[in-house]
């Protein structure tokens, strides 16, 4: 049977962190890094998948309809076929070859890009007629209900609906997505902190629970319905819930202000919002680390930089930098080198992709 090829990008969130599972706003964009798959249907129910990036690993096999967690990359593939169980009679087994340039565990959505690439390949191989939004929602179910990472909808939405020349303004409450052009005079850089993270584990889950508890105390369905005018109400919450809620409320306001700044091409305001967002993640949501704070300071101190902040789930991963067009390559190298020298960690420029 014919081979089908598909790919999906990694993403970086510009602003709007830990707002998605609170019914709030986000502003991610995609990166020139991607996961590519080649899928060849075969008769029967067996899926045989291998990664070109893990040449020493044996081909992983599973049966459609008998997916079971293995705590390995194959779970993202199993998650997608598991989430497609209502269409089980429309798909057959397949051979899958995967390769990716999205680094793992850096907060750049390597998992969502794999899920979306697999779902796109299945969509065209078996004529499933899923829209990009259907694919995003399917992949989100794969991640939360099968893989078991209690994440929000942002990553799957932007990996499925986004592109590199736009930021995607997302509303998690309505699932509306609007493309906002990125200003011509701005360029995006990403620097890795050398600290890895995992969202299936502890702290992400704890933050999510804290937000749910805060919403329940305040008698609202989710924190995203609150605005800056509601800030005085947060004083009734026990610590640290009031700080967690304050982050979500102020971060949502910062996303709206960032959309306006992008529309006006005002990178100075956008840069200031980035720094405020980082401070809120550091002090109120407490998902940064002293080394990552240092990385942000070093980036923000560069004359070509408008702003910088920790991006993604936190507790490790990468920093997103916005800077003058044409300067991102040198800025990210300068920042990574300064960071490695100060902290002894392995700072690396990830975007623009080193040549």
In whole angstroms, give the CA distance from residue 200 to residue 148.
Answer: 6
Does 96 help bind ligand GLA (rule: CB under 6 A)? Answer: no
SS3 266: coil
In whole angstroms, give the CA distance from residue 212 to residue 138.
Answer: 24
In whole angstroms, give the CA distance from residue 272 to residue 282.
Answer: 15
Does 17 help bind ligand GLA (rule: CB under 6 A)? Answer: yes
Smallest separation (angstroms) from ligand GLA to the CB of 355: 28
Smallest separation (angstroms) from ligand GLA to the CB of 239: 22
What's the token pair of residue 24? 């709030």
Alpha helix (H) ranges present in 88-189?
110-125, 132-141, 154-161
Q: Binding ligand GLA by CB under 6 A: which of 20, 67, 115, 187?
A: 20
Half-sphere exposure of 143 (CA within 13 A, CB side): 28
Selected range binding ligand GLA among 15-23, 176-184, 272-280, 324-332, rule: CB under 6 A: 15-23
* Residue 215 CB neighbours (<10 A): 21
In whole angstroms, give the CA distance from residue 7 to residue 138.
Answer: 16
Smallest separation (angstroms) from ligand GLA to the CB of 54: 23
Ranges within 191-250 binding ligand GLA (CB under 6 A):
199
Using the minimum distance from each CB to ligand GLA, give the nearer residue, 30 or 343.
Answer: 30
Using the minimum distance from each CB to ligand GLA, give the nearer residue, 64 or 102.
Answer: 102
Q: Which of 75, 155, 171, 192 is the catalytic position?
A: 155
Q: Is 89 a catalytic residue?
A: no
Using the minimum distance from each CB to ligand GLA, give the nearer residue, 4 or 319.
Answer: 319
What's the token pair of residue 210? 């804290």
Query: Measured between alpha carbons, how far is residue 230 from residues 52, 220, 224, 233, 249 in Å?
Result: 51, 11, 11, 6, 8
Does 251 help bind ligand GLA (rule: CB under 6 A)? Answer: no
Of how many residues is the chain composed?
Answer: 355
Selected range binding ligand GLA among 17-25, 87-95, 163-171, 328-336, rule: CB under 6 A: 17-25
Closest CA to 313 of 152, 89, 74, 127: 152
In whole angstroms, give the CA distance from residue 58 to residue 42.
Answer: 19
Burial class (CB in 10 A: 0-12, 13-18, 19+), 48: middle
Smallest separation (angstroms) from ligand GLA to the CB of 338: 26
Ranges within 140-199 binding ligand GLA (CB under 6 A):
151-152, 154-155, 199
Burial class (CB in 10 A: 0-12, 13-18, 19+), 186: middle
Using the minimum distance from each CB to ligand GLA, give the nearer residue, 37 or 170.
Answer: 170
Smallest separation (angstroms) from ligand GLA to the CB of 66: 27
Ranges within 281-320 binding ligand GLA (CB under 6 A):
312-313
Using the minimum distance from each CB to ligand GLA, give the nearer residue, 271 or 316.
Answer: 316
Smallest separation (angstroms) from ligand GLA to the CB of 26: 7
Q: Binding ligand GLA by CB under 6 A: which of 14, 15, 18, 142?
A: 18
Using the minimum distance from each CB to ligand GLA, give the nearer residue, 47 or 154.
Answer: 154
Q: Give me the residues that bind ligand GLA (CB under 6 A), please.
A: 13, 17-18, 20-21, 151-152, 154-155, 199, 312-313
Q: Which residues are known to be catalytic?
A: 155
């Amino acid at each position: 049977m014919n081979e089908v090829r598909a790919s999906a990008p990694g993403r970086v969130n510009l602003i709007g962190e830990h707002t998605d599972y609170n019914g709030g706003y986000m502003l991610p964009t995609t990166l020139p890094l991607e996961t590519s798959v080649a899928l060849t249907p075969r008769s029967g129910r067996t899926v045989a998948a291998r990664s070109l990036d893990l040449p020493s690993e044996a081909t992983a096999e599973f049966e459609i309809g008998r997916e079971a967690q293995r705590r390995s990359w194959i779970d993202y593939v199993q998650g997608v076929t598991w989430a497609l169980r209502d269409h089980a009679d429309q798909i057959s087994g397949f051979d899958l070859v995967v390769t990716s340039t999205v680094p793992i565990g850096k907060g750049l959505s390597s998992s969502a890009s794999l899920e979306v690439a697999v779902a796109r390949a299945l969509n065209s191989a078996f004529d499933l007629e899923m829209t990009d939004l259907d694919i995003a929602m399917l992949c989100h179910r794969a991640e939360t209900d099968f893989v078991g990472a209690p994440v929000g909808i942002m990553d799957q939405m932007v990996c499925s609906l986004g592109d590199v020349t736009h930021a995607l303004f997302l509303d998690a409450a309505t699932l509306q997505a609007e493309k906002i052009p990125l200003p011509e005079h701005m360029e995006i850089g990403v620097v890795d902190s050398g600290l890895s993270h995992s969202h299936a584990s502890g702290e992400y889950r704890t933050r999510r629970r804290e937000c749910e508890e805060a919403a329940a105390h305040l008698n609202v369905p989710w924190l995203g319905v609150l605005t800056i005018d509601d800030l005085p109400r947060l004083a009734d919450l026990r610590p640290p819930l009031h700080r967690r809620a304050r982050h979500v409320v102020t971060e949502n306001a910062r996303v709206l202000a960032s959309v306006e700044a992008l529309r006006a091409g005002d990178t100075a305001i956008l840069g200031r919002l980035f720094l405020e967002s980082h401070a809120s993640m550091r002090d109120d949501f407490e998902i940064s680390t002293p080394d990552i704070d240092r990385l942000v300071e070093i980036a923000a101190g560069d004359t070509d930089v408008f702003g910088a902040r920790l991006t993604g789930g936190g507790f490790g991963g990468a920093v997103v930098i916005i800077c003058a067009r044409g300067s991102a390559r040198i800025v990210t190298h300068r920042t990574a080198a300064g960071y490695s020298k100060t902290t002894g960690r392995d700072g690396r420029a990830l975007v623009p992709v080193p040549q």
